[in-house]
């Protein structure tokens, strides 16, 4: 566990503290900052990068304004220690999947073991980390049981929650209630976010446009 990773975690918890304090969704995220502090450092993470990270993380971090720049630069410094994953590995190839999947990546900072690998900090009933979405990429509409809290760190993005599209910029939050559909479309910028699930880390993510209609039993999150 490097000093840089510990610094990243402190920055992350401070940012989530601030977001929860100014959120009106106190019943959904009450207690989240305290639970972030209960995570346990693991000895070694099997780190991976992805082509989308190699292509866009530098650009996204350089564009992050204050006060989010501190967290973004802490992420960049520790990126080689994180396990950046390809989301939705279980979905079959299709034009929609193939346009999205290589152009998005997630790195857990805290959470349970996932696909047999540990994040830097183990925590039960909680998933927290970072996502990177390349420019001109559509993350199709999806939903899941756990409520979700996103914070935009870099880039402007169109964000659909329910039936309404919102323009989001650095510092904006996006809150998804349980099973509320959401979709994110980048334009010219790569978009870097932090993200937390406050419970239900083993839940399935339903993506109606890509999952077969009868695929309701997939056992693992994206």
Are 177 and 112 a contacting pair, CB within 8 Å? Answer: no
Q: Which of residues 5 and 211 has its CB atom nearest to Fe ion in the complex? A: 211
Least distance between Fe ion and beta carbon 144 (Å): 6
Task: For residue 130, give the nearest of 209, 32, 196, 58 by alpha carbon.
Answer: 196
Q: Which of residues 50 and 193 has its CB atom nearest to Fe ion in the complex? A: 193
Q: Which of residues 23 and 59 has its CB atom nearest to Fe ion in the complex? A: 23
Residue 150 interacts with Fe ion (CB under 5 A): yes or no: no
Q: Which of residues 63 and 195 has its CB atom nearest to Fe ion in the complex? A: 195
Q: State both tokens at 148.
A: 């979700």
Helices (H), the chain: 3-22, 26-29, 32-36, 51-63, 69-78, 95-100
Mark the segment that binds Fe ion (CB under 5 A) among 17-25, 50-58, 105-113, 143-151: 143-151
CB-nearest residue to Fe ion: 148
Least distance between Fe ion and beta carbon 148 (Å): 5
Residue 148 interacts with Fe ion (CB under 5 A): yes or no: yes
Q: For residue 67, count CB atoms less than 10 angstroms from its CB and return exposed for 0-12, middle for 13-18, buried for 19 or more.
A: middle
Half-sphere exposure of 160 (CA within 13 A, CB side): 14
Task: Tell me the number of residues near Fe ion by CB under 5 A.
Answer: 1
Instruction: Please report, as ranges, the residues that interact with Fe ion according to CB under 5 A.
Output: 148
């Amino acid at each position: 566990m490097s000093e840089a990773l510990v610094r990243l975690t402190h920055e992350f918890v401070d940012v989530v503290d601030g977001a929860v304090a100014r959120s009106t969704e106190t019943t959904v995220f009450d207690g989240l900052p305290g639970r972030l502090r209960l995570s346990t450092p693991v000895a070694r993470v099997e780190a991976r990068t992805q082509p989308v990270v190699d292509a866009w993380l530098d650009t996204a971090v350089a564009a992050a304004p204050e006060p989010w720049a501190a967290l973004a630069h802490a992420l960049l410094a520790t990126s080689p220690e994180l396990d950046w994953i390809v989301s939705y590995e279980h979905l079959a190839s299709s034009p929609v999947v193939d346009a999205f999947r290589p152009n998005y990546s997630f790195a857990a900072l805290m959470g349970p073991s996932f696909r047999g690998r540990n994040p830097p900090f183990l925590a039960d009933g909680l998933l927290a980390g970072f996502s990177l979405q390349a420019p001109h990429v559509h993350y199709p509409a999806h939903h899941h049981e756990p409520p979700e809290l996103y914070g935009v760190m870099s880039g402007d993005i169109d964000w659909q929650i329910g039936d309404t599209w919102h323009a989001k910029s650095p510092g904006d939050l996006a809150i998804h209630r349980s099973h509320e559909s959401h979709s994110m479309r980048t334009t010219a910028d790569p978009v870097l976010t932090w993200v937390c699930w406050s419970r239900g880390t083993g839940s399935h993510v339903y993506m109606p446009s890509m999952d077969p209609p009868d695929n309701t039993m997939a056992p693992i999150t994206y």
